[in-house]
Amino acid sequence: MKKKSSLKQKKKAEKKIVMVSGGFDPVHIGHVRLFQGAKKLGDELVVVINNDNWLKLKKGYVFMPEHERKEIIEAFEAVDRVILSSHKKNTKDISISKDLLSLRPHIFAKGGDRHRGNIPTPEVLVCNEIGCEIINDVGFGGKVQSSSELVKKARKKKIR
């Protein structure tokens, strides 16, 4: 005899999961717009934050520690869940393929600076494998700000 699944379980199974990822170091208005736009694409928005290991490999530094970035992003109304990426120290793979496989979202939303030509191939392959749609240019019209540029400006500014 089959067990009756609860209404809550059915609703959870029907939820369309949208995933975004990034360093968000530091968080800026473009990220807020990305989260707001991505939330409109589904029922649950999951933000995968590239952890400190990833930032050290990709940029060579961490401006804001991962736990601070996570706490800030958890406070945004549009965000339902925040996960730190699974990147290990000195990893060769800086894609978020493992996180995509683990979460298996319906939609992988990319911000204004991402398009078909610059999304890492492993991520595209995983999305194809799990049936996840990639939607580009989410967040109200292109790249608005750059975390790297904000950090450069902060480093150049002289405190008097």
What mean pLDDT is predicted for residues 54-68? 90
Domain that holds residue 96: 16-155
Residue 160 covered by a domain: no
Residue 90 covered by a domain: yes
Pairing of strands 17-22, 107-109: parallel
Give the pLDDT band of residue 1 (cuts 50, 70, 90).
very low
Residue 7 covered by a domain: no
Residue 115 has pLDDT above 70, yes or no: no
Distance of CA 73 to CAs 1, 5, 14, Å?
44, 33, 25
Residue 42: φ, ψ to 5°: -160, -165
Residue 96 belongs to domain with CATH number:
3.40.50.620
User: Strand order in 81-84's β-sheet?
Assistant: 81-84, 44-49, 17-22, 107-109, 133-135
Residue 48 covered by a domain: yes
Number of domains in the chain: 1
Residue 82 covered by a domain: yes
Residue 3 covered by a domain: no
Residue 119 covered by a domain: yes
Residue 53 covered by a domain: yes
Q: How far apart are alpha carbons 107 and 19 in whole angstroms?
A: 6
Reported as a single tens digit per residue, the pLDDT across 25-51 is: 888 888 898 999 999 999 999 999 999
